[in-house]
Structure 1
Amino acid sequence: MKDHHHHHHHHHQSLNSSSTTLYIPPHQRLKSIIVSSSSQTSIQSSSSVSTPSLEFNWKQNHNNFTSKPRNTSSNSNSSSSFSHYQQPPLQQQQQHQQQQQQKNNLLDYNHTSELINRSDVQPDFDVDTSSSLMEISNFDGLDEWKRKLTLLIRSKNEQEVVSKDKRDRNNFEQIANLATKMGLYSHLYARVFVISKVPLPNYRFDLDDKRPQREVVIQFGLQRRVETLLSEYISKEPTRGTLSDGFFSRSSSTGSLSGYEGFFEQQEPQTSAVMEKILRRRSLHLLDQQQAWKESEEGEKMQRFRRGLPSYKERDVLLKTISRNQVVVITGETGCGKTTQIPQYILEAEIEAGRGSNCSIICTQPRRISAMAVSERVAAERGENLGESVGYRVRLEGIKGRDTRLLFCTTGILLRRLLVDRNLKGVSYVIVDEIHERGMNEDFLLIVLKEILPHRPELRLILMSATLNADQFSSYFGGAPMVHIPGFTYPVRTHFLEDVLEMTGYRLTPSNQTDDYGQDKSWKKQTLRKRKSQIAFVVEDALEVANLKEYSSQTQNSLSCWNPDSIGFNLIENVLCHLCNNEKPGAILVFMTGWDDINSLKDQLQAHPLLGDPSRVLLLACHGSMASSEQSDLSFMSEVQYHKVPFICDECAMRTMLSTNIAETSITIDDVVFVIDCGKAKETSYDALNNTPCLLPSWISKAAAGQRRGRAGRVQPGECFRLYPKCVYDAFADNQLPELLRTPLQSICLQIKSLQLGSISDFLSRALQSPKLLSVQNAIEYLKIIGALDEEEKLTILGRHLSMLPVEPKLGKMLIMGAIFNCLDPILTVVAGLSVRDPFLMPIDKKDLAEQAKSQFAARDYSDHLAIIRAYEGWKDAEKEQSGYDYCWKNFLSAPTLKAIDSLRKEFFSLLKDTGLVDDDPNVYNGWSNDGALIRAVICTGLYPGICSVVNKETSVSLKTMEDGRVLLYSNSVNGRESNIPYPWLVFNEKIKVNSVLLRDSTAISDSVLLLFGGKVSIGEVDGHLKMLGGYLEFFMKPSLAETYMNLKRELEQLIQSKLLNPKMNIQAHGELLSAVQLLISEDQCDGKFVFGHQVLTSSNVTAASVVTAPSPAGTISRNGSGPGGDNSKSQLQTLVTRAGHEAPTYKTEQVRNSQFQATVVFNGMQFVGQPCSNKKLAEKDAAAEALQWLTRRLQAGPVDIDRMSMLLKQKRKLHH
């Protein structure tokens, strides 16, 4: 029988395996395991998702071993999911090159050094790393491992070796080094050691035998009440939302997209002679207007100013190049006038040629504030009001008239236009500005435009970049011509760290480089790790080769003490004093990493006798979040940018501006003469392997360092003080990584689908620099989990609604569910609050008071999101009394952030109105806005799969997520201060890896909320066993309760689907269903408990004790007690049948005598009847055993044995053909 099963197993492998070089999450692949152990010959993963593996039987003398494939059961999805990861040979090759590049990259995870200090993630790590063991040059088993790894490399189907042997863990370093030399990856997970062909993540839930699994308990009375309501609902057949054909046909139409057509009015059809006459008249009118302005006194003054800009000298060359080429790349330093002048040159030339009314120019900007400020400036330079020939359009706001010929808009707006107008009909010029920033939308837009150009030969595309390295854009468009606008800058002297130390005589010591002035770094202390930072990696190599011979010994000693991870507050203070004492005139610009550091440094400088004296030094802070859409900020920015108004300050005071990298290109501050550059920026990157965003300070690129230095030479010769050595600068990357390669791709993938651009990975592979395949697959997987894409990667009805909302898919889903469940007001507040900065302020000197204020808003609800709702509602009430600012001041809230939340809520509301999901009557759409349990449920449906288990210890809380294992909460989260959270789960919006993985904001939820409002729930191996997220979340309960959850969830999902297809449907008519859901989520007392790994569930509710382990396959029946006699025939049958590609077996049970039950199992059109048994469960097992016996028995048919199992496989294959 065993042989027979192996035969089947190989068939299966050949169908599905792929020697892909991608890490595939454990619940979505066929995992290969090689067990090394002298005593035992099999390993059972703690996950209930176990898959085929290779097992080694060591002979007693350990000199040779044999390998044999072992067949284990798998969840029914594994084969179908796996084929999703197969790659064509070319892609595999590309992926391999990417992987090699990744291995060579110093900044990537250095696996071996990363592994040794995993104690913060896995506290139960017990490897013996005593020095005596480490010194053994070659332990006995190393040759064995060499042979084993060679076997792994040669095997096509096996992907990894897993060992639980303690001796292997003790010799981990040597085995890992051997693996690295052989081109393999290794990782130590608590008590399990893995070597793999592909990079391994920091945590694998399938290897965590302390993973919490939930035993769910609901009071029986509550369950009965819910079941009664549900059966009443189901019996009212006519009122249930049966889906008519009309609904489905509506789902595929794009009728609902028409709301966006108003963004850009289409050009009128220019067919009739009458129309042509009108257009000619308009063109003449535009020409007269333009001439009149140029001849006026104001106009002449403006002309003189414009002629003084560097771009004016290139005007004729630019216009000639644009008229002769479809694509032109223009480069020029910030301030040369390209953004304001080039669109005007084109417009003026078109008007002068008499084509003014036929011309339409769209100029995209990466930020709202730029689009608004630039359009205002250009209109002023043309002597007009906004909305005449020049207009702007940003999200849900804009000024555009009938005669607008030049429109400034954000890149996102142009992408939305493409939804309704694929070929940009009627547009004559598209200008994409600031492409050097390599924003995700800009890179995306370039792929689409590249495909449009052949269909629109008359369309002109102009790309504008602030840096010289624009040749990559030129070659992307087949060698498009480049025009450079030379900007005039004065020479800037550069001093590196060694020069700064020499000049100032400042000494660096190990103790004077901390940056913690007044800062509470408690969260830093708790997450500190010994692993080297990315910053230190670069430095170590660079300093080894540095030549510092001509510097004094004091400087050389200082450099040897230099701590590259610190910004150097004391050193900055010293340089500022040096500049102030030498009384050199001119403003100083200091580049810092973030707002926190700016504030800390400002506090330190204000405490200094010279620098803190406002009559001598004026300190100003400048940060990207200042550039919000508030009108006051906008006018301030445009004053600084265009009118060159100096900051109002005492004449004799020296101005010092502390800024983040926003001042590199976004704003122009004119009288800067000195730049102090710390060389770092806090950059968000995306770790696809661990599916986690990271926010770490990293070295900037040479291009960014050049931009920072260039700020000093605008008005006179300047100086730049770089607080890092020259050798480190030489090791910088040339350019920053494009956003497409360092952010999660969910939103962009959804857009690709809504624009009907074909396969997501094919489309993104055509980008200027395409993202890693794993990032793309993570995003697609995520969109499937939240229900935006179906298994074929097609847009669902929910996905279509989500693509209409200009927010992240999860926030869009939360809005839609808030509208469906009539609790819209609070959900609008949550989504708006998550789209802007945190409204709760935490001043360093009043942290305790601020925390107290926030706790009052949280009101023991264990939710950051509910706290935002209360804070906002309190502010709205105070605003009515004209005491909004007073309220904010008392409660440590940010008034500008609350105003931003207020205006975003209005935006989101009008967008939702367009979808038709929102009723006109506020009493309807806010009918359940006071129902706390329902609001939690809607928050859960949006934030899932951001889910984290909560296990309360004696004095603390232990949290785990699927991708990261152990995580921590931010100290300013309301749950971060709790020593006990009386809920089993948290849903979170944002996690970020700083040193450990931190959850920024969270809401506690019950089992019922997660099961009903989380994602897909599947039925597990034993009765009363439910699973989510591919087996990561497991729930055990009474079978009748599991049935109640599954029935309720099915009806609820059908109701949501009906409402999405028919937005006008009244869901109040489904009262019993909604009451049942509401009753269960509001009265779930979270009475269950967590069990871990292999613990047996001894609950009196579960009839037969079931063990949380993966069932073994037929032929290797485990005697580990899962059910009577260790018999798990049902799951074995399900595994064999689903592996063969058929639907899972179904069971019918009937009572044959008083206490006897008989079951029939049906699959693939066949039926098998079991013997009568004492209960239903046993009867089903017996029927399954009968079917298994038949399947695994051989038939004598002449000379050839026919294997029924292979027949089952063959039948399925025929179906596939």
Structure 2
Amino acid sequence: MPCYSAIFQGYLRTTMSLRTTCLQLNNNPKTFLKPSFFSFHSRTQSLGSFRRLHLRHDLVTCSRPGTAAASSRSLALDWRNTALPYLQLQQISNYGRYAYQDVSSDDSDHEFGSPQPQMVILPFGLQRDVDLHLKAYLSHKDMSRGSFSDKPWSRSCAGGRIAADEVPIEHQEFFTQNSDVMERILRRRSLQLRNKQQEWQESPEGQKMVEFRRSLPAYKERDALLNAIQQNQVVVVSGETGCGKTTQIPQYILESEIEAARGASCSIICTQPRRISAMAVSERVAAEKGEKLGESVGYKVRLEGMKGRDTRLLFCTTGILLRRLLVDRDLRGVSHVIVDEIHERGMNEDFLLIVLKDLLPRRPELRLILMSATLNAELFSSYFGGAPTIHIPGFTYPVRAHFLENILEMTGHRLTPYNQIDDYGEEKMWKMQKQAQSLKKRKSRLTSAVEDVLEIADFRGYSLRTRESLSFWNPDSIGFNLIEHVLCHMVKKERPGAVLVFMTGWDDINSLKDQLQVHPLLGDPSKVLLLACHGSMPSSEQRLIFEKPEVGVRKIVLATNMAETSITINDVVFVVDCGKAKETSYDALNNTPCLLPSWISKAAARQRRGRAGRVQSGECYHLYPKCVYDTFADYQLPELLRTPLQSLCLQIKSLELGGITEFLSRALQPPELLSVQNAVEYLKIIGALDENENLTVLGRNLSMLPVEPKLGKMLVLGAIFNCLDPIMTVVAGLSVRDPFLMPYDKKDLAESAKAQFSGQEYSDHIALVRAYEGWKEAEREQSGFEYCWKNFLSAQTLKAIDSLRKQFFYLLKDSGLVDQNIENRNKWSHDDNLIRAVICAGLFPGICSVVNKEKSIALKTMEDGQVLLYSNSVNAGVAKIPYPWLVFNEKVKVNAVFLRDSTCVSDSMLLLFGGNISRGGLDGHLKMLGGYLEFFMKPAFADTYLSLKRELEELIQKKLLNPASDMESSNELLSVVRLLISEDQCEGRFVFGRQVPASSKNTTIVKTPAIGGVDNSKSQLQTVLARAGHGAPIYKTKQLKNNQFQSTVILNGLDFMGQPCSSKKLAEKDAAAQALLWLRGEDHSSSREIDHASLLLKKSKKSRRTSVSDTKWSIKWS
């Protein structure tokens, strides 16, 4: 072992040499290296005990008298010059390393965007072991190459199949060469169906049911409907709530086919947007036909289904029909397709309409019926070439609407700034103070949307008390206390009848339910039956909401917007409408979904109000003023225009429907081009599409799995790397609701219970795996309920996870990736590091940097900068995270950007299981995501990572092309990978790339994104400013007289005006482009090229406000 003193002397000699080099490179300001200190410390690894010498050098910046000290960020300008001697210095000894420590004039903490990189550090001796194993593997591979290199690998025949259990409809086919025999069999079955139908209709119970059905408004249009369906391939039906279209029209078609002796050859699919709708409607229709569910009427939803050999009418979710199309593009044997609730404009429904529109010319005998609950049928009719429309007027009793001003006047309730704070399980006093302060600081989009109309609203006809309350009304609040007061008023003073309360989401429902259950009146089960209604609730609980309560008991149902049209609760007389719905919107510019409450549409408000008039005249309490209702949009924005499109784009390629952009351009309302580009770029990053947008073998496998592409990739890799069981648990857990409960009165205990499952793994996903495994063990001992109660877990969610795991296993087994051998598929399930790496592979590019500060942890992503963790994450409550990276399942923009479900990973995990890596400009420099992520290390380390990455990708490709291939020959490679990811010291650091893509001066059209799907001037400008430590730019846009728009962007006190453009969005992008040109010194306002970006980078935070505000730059283009 070398002498430490000799090593230290070598370091000093090299330090002086490096200082001289730096002085020559940087004369003004002068930058040199000063020896700061050196220290020894010990580390014990599995490879043995060793000593490491750390010698740090502090960068000190000197400036001339009279000038302010330059910011530490100016070091970015000198990095390329000083990096080479730095990297050469790194190789002096295996026991030491140099790292730059920048010292700014104000001694500020290191920020995420600090330009200097930190080396990727591996323990001494690890590289030698890895290289030896890798060399042995490659030698063995070369020797055996001849045994399989000549075999033409082909796509697995299972690539286009799915598990039999997932095929939504199994139309009975009789494989016989004698068509006469076939006809006789079908005729005999058809006669049997007709006789059975006649017997039911002539029976006493059947006659009562027939009379009831004839009383529905849909019956009056029965003959017209059947004639239209017979004469036209597409028919659009609109009908008001309660007209009977959902339950009756499918029956009319089936009954007419059975009466015509075509029942055996008839096959009707009726899609519903939600599983609860498919299940409830199928049960009702079967009862109206006097049958058990599963005979001629059945249903199929994910995880559940009930159908038989004679099922001729099947209710299913839209996703089930899309999966059927994967294996049967022509829907052979299907005679009628009914798409219900098309007015909701779900993404699957809009996608299905495009597919069916293309299918109709190939299947002229197929009939398509579109059903909408609103009067916008003309939109769908014109999309299908002027298809005939039929309107069914519904009969509803009159409903009296009470808006907020009337409610306050009638009940005497008083609003204050503090009694509108909604409690979500946190300390109430702290919550009230925080929300009250936030109201003064910023305005939400809910408030911004209505503040103008509230200012001019005339409430002079109401009492002073009511006007004062209205002045305090908070549009952001759901109004838990107001809802409680209104419900008390109903229970005490109103006539009997069920109450339906529309909330924004499951969290709000649970929180309100908890609050009402402790109320002395509303929590009394002898007077109130309090129920919740949500799409993910179990079937047994769903049935309770349709049953009538005991006499003297008021039924109150808390529901989401699914109760607007998807289900009908017959005994509802009172409706409480909060006026909001929590929906996902999509910020294509930042590639971030935003989950925010938003105002509903007028159509939705009318639907909610109509629910109160089903059985008698009703009352609807709208918890917002009438003037706010008048500002609502007529209809909701289609989901296709406000959600990420990755899964949809993958389905387009798997169905071989052509180019993604061209296909989506044929949608009823095509999505934004940038959203499509983001989705395509994401699929390329994860390897589902190649550079030419062709479906890869991985993409083919992902398209067959009923989960998001990232979760599907996790499943596939879990199968390949023999750690399937924990990965199936993770994917199932991310596909359903979080099983960890957070009761408002026991939140601390619940968080502690979850933290115990994670231990020191810093992973929400591993905590989920351990919680599930503990539950399975408790179930075997018949103590599952006690286990869930003790650990704050949802038994229902854990059962759903268990069912999903079984479904995933059969899908993977059908594809050939796994077999029945439990030992093989779980060979490495005990290796938490490998599980962590597979999670990283699935969730990438959802990557976040971790920077441990003295008193806090800074988390930042490329697109968003500073982000936060959801409070229920195991990583949210730790003081320090000993990993440089964090992968996450989802980021959601509420007020800030929050990360959900995170796992910490090391450099090696990210390099080997993340995105593609390439060499940088220097030896030992690796890049990922086009340079947004950079890694610096010894050149030999870089070669090792590149070689291992290449071999891993080849191994995965080989297994996917030939699932039956033996993995035993790759055990040595997997051992190398496991060794490397387990021994990584986790000392890397997130580094932004320094190259900003050039843009044309005259181009403002969005091009195909090069990095992460966000390649446009606005995002580039924001990224440049973020790297320089500045805030986001401000855009001011005005409309010109010629109906064009002109925008000015303000950054750091500088104004840049763009050219007039046809839209506000293009105008802002053009202004940003002008700012970028100036920053790069490419604008023609300057006689010489000046790198203004470097000047901006050098400005310290303290001097920025004063030095820049004195001078305004305005660049205008003629």
- TM-score when normalising by structure 1: 0.70
Is the CA contact (8 Å cut-off) linking 1:46 and 1:1109 kept in structure 2?
no
Is the CA contact (8 Å cut-off) linking 1:528 and 1:995 kept in structure 2?
no
Match of 2:124 in 1: 220
Match of 2:541 in 1: 633
The change in CA–CA distance for 1:47 and 1:807 in structure 2 (over 3 A counts) is farther
Is the CA contact (8 Å cut-off) linking 1:602 and 1:619 kept in structure 2?
no
SS of the residue aligned with 1:621? strand
Matches within 5 A, 1:180-199: none
Of residues 480, 498, 507, the one that matches 1:596 is: 507
Matched, 1:695 2:595: yes
Match of 2:1012 in 1: none
The change in CA–CA distance for 1:313 and 1:419 in structure 2 (over 3 A counts) is same
Matched, 1:302 2:209: yes
Which residue identity lines up with residue 338 of structure 1 in the other structure? K
Structure 2: how far apart are the matches of 1:208 and 1:925?
40
The change in CA–CA distance for 1:587 and 1:265 in structure 2 (over 3 A counts) is closer
Structure 1: how far apart are the matches of 2:482 and 2:78?
55
- How far is 1:620 from its partner? 1.1
Larger deviation, residues 467-476 vs 1046-1055: 467-476
Match of 2:482 in 1: 571
Matched, 1:851 2:851: no
Of residues 1012, 1018, 1024, the one that matches 2:918 is: 1018
Matched, 1:832 2:748: no
Match of 2:170 in 1: 264
Is the CA contact (8 Å cut-off) linking 2:295 and 2:308 kept in structure 1?
yes
The change in CA–CA distance for 1:316 and 1:903 in structure 2 (over 3 A counts) is same
Match of 1:345 in 2: 252
Is the CA contact (8 Å cut-off) linking 2:584 and 2:594 kept in structure 1?
yes
Of residues 533, 541, 562, the one that matches 1:623 is: 533
- How far is 1:244 from its partner? 4.4
SS of the residue aligned with 2:348? helix
Per-residue CA deviation, residues 1003-1049 of structure 1 (Å, 9 max, x unaligned), is 11111111001110111111100111121111000001111111111
Match of 1:249 in 2: 154
Of residues 820, 823, 826, the one that matches 1:926 is: 826
For structure 2, the 5+ residue unaligned runs are 1-67, 80-102, 999-1118
Structure 1: how far apart are the matches of 2:997 and 2:359?
55
Structure 2: how far apart are the matches of 1:1112 and 1:989?
28
Structure 2: how far apart are the matches of 1:391 and 1:579?
39
The change in CA–CA distance for 1:1112 and 1:916 in structure 2 (over 3 A counts) is closer
The change in CA–CA distance for 1:520 and 1:480 in structure 2 (over 3 A counts) is farther
Matches within 5 A, 1:527-676: 528=438, 530-615=441-526, 617-618=527-528, 620-625=530-535, 627-628=537-538, 630=539, 632-633=540-541, 635-636=543-544, 640=546, 645-647=547-549, 649=550, 651-676=551-576
- How far is 1:610 from its partner? 4.5
Is the CA contact (8 Å cut-off) linking 1:1024 and 1:1041 kept in structure 2?
yes
The change in CA–CA distance for 1:1008 and 1:254 in structure 2 (over 3 A counts) is closer
Structure 2: how far apart are the matches of 1:550 and 1:49?
71
Larger deviation, residues 258-267 vs 317-326: 258-267
SS of the residue aligned with 1:989? strand
Matches within 5 A, 1:382-781: 382-395=289-302, 397-516=304-423, 519-520=426-427, 525=434, 528=438, 530-615=441-526, 617-618=527-528, 620-625=530-535, 627-628=537-538, 630=539, 632-633=540-541, 635-636=543-544, 640=546, 645-647=547-549, 649=550, 651-781=551-681
Structure 2: how far apart are the matches of 1:713 and 1:967?
46
The change in CA–CA distance for 1:210 and 1:249 in structure 2 (over 3 A counts) is same
Matches within 5 A, 1:197-236: 209-210=113-114, 213-236=117-140
Per-residue CA deviation, residues 463-506 of structure 1 (Å, 9 max, x unaligned), is 11122222211121122122222222111111211222222333
SS of the residue aligned with 2:746? helix
Which residue identity lines up with residue 1020 of structure 1 in the other structure? G
The change in CA–CA distance for 1:566 and 1:849 in structure 2 (over 3 A counts) is same
The change in CA–CA distance for 1:380 and 1:722 in structure 2 (over 3 A counts) is closer
The change in CA–CA distance for 1:964 and 1:212 in structure 2 (over 3 A counts) is farther
Of residues 892, 899, 904, the one that matches 1:999 is: 899
Match of 2:82 in 1: none
SS of the residue aligned with 1:541? helix
The change in CA–CA distance for 1:853 and 1:478 in structure 2 (over 3 A counts) is same
Match of 2:1083 in 1: none
Per-residue CA deviation, residues 729-759 of structure 1 (Å, 9 max, x unaligned), is 0111111121111211110000000000001
Structure 2: how far apart are the matches of 1:561 and 1:410?
44
Larger deviation, residues 668-677 vs 472-481: 668-677
SS of the residue aligned with 1:412? helix
- How far is 1:658 from its partner? 2.9
The change in CA–CA distance for 1:662 and 1:49 in structure 2 (over 3 A counts) is farther
Structure 2: how far apart are the matches of 1:767 and 1:245?
45
- How far is 1:577 from its partner? 3.7
Structure 2: how far apart are the matches of 1:375 and 1:1111?
57
- How far is 1:634 from its partner? 5.1
Per-residue CA deviation, residues 169-225 of structure 1 (Å, 9 max, x unaligned), is xxxxxxxxxxxxxxxxxxxxx9xxxxxxxxxxxxxxxx9843684420112301100
For structure 1, the 5+ residue unaligned runs are 1-38, 51-123, 127-189, 191-206, 1094-1107, 1114-1217
Is the CA contact (8 Å cut-off) linking 1:47 and 1:1110 kept in structure 2?
no
Match of 1:1099 in 2: none
Is the CA contact (8 Å cut-off) linking 2:713 and 2:842 kept in structure 1?
yes
Is the CA contact (8 Å cut-off) linking 1:592 and 1:658 kept in structure 2?
yes
- How far is 1:594 from its partner? 2.8
- How far is 1:412 from its partner? 1.7
Which residue identity lines up with residue 531 of structure 2 in the other structure? A
Is the CA contact (8 Å cut-off) linking 1:213 and 1:1033 kept in structure 2?
no
Of residues 686, 700, 703, the one that matches 1:803 is: 703
Larger deviation, residues 666-675 vs 761-770: 666-675
Structure 1: how far apart are the matches of 2:716 and 2:424?
45
Matches within 5 A, 1:724-1123: 724-1086=624-986, 1088-1090=987-989
SS of the residue aligned with 1:855? helix
Larger deviation, residues 423-432 vs 937-946: 423-432
- How far is 1:230 from its partner? 0.4
Is the CA contact (8 Å cut-off) linking 1:46 and 1:209 kept in structure 2?
no
- How far is 1:621 from its partner? 3.5
Structure 2: how far apart are the matches of 1:989 and 1:49?
37
Which residue identity lines up with residue 620 of structure 1 in the other structure? L
- How far is 1:956 from its partner? 1.3
- How far is 1:653 from its partner? 3.9
Per-residue CA deviation, residues 884-909 of structure 1 (Å, 9 max, x unaligned), is 10111111111101111111100000
Structure 1: how far apart are the matches of 2:781 and 2:997?
69
The change in CA–CA distance for 1:676 and 1:394 in structure 2 (over 3 A counts) is closer
Structure 2: how far apart are the matches of 1:296 and 1:49?
92
Is the CA contact (8 Å cut-off) linking 1:704 and 1:735 kept in structure 2?
yes
- How far is 1:1061 from its partner? 0.6
Is the CA contact (8 Å cut-off) linking 2:859 and 2:868 kept in structure 1?
yes
- How far is 1:913 from its partner? 0.3
Match of 2:6 in 1: none
Is the CA contact (8 Å cut-off) linking 1:523 and 1:970 kept in structure 2?
no
SS of the residue aligned with 1:220? coil
- How far is 1:992 from its partner? 0.8
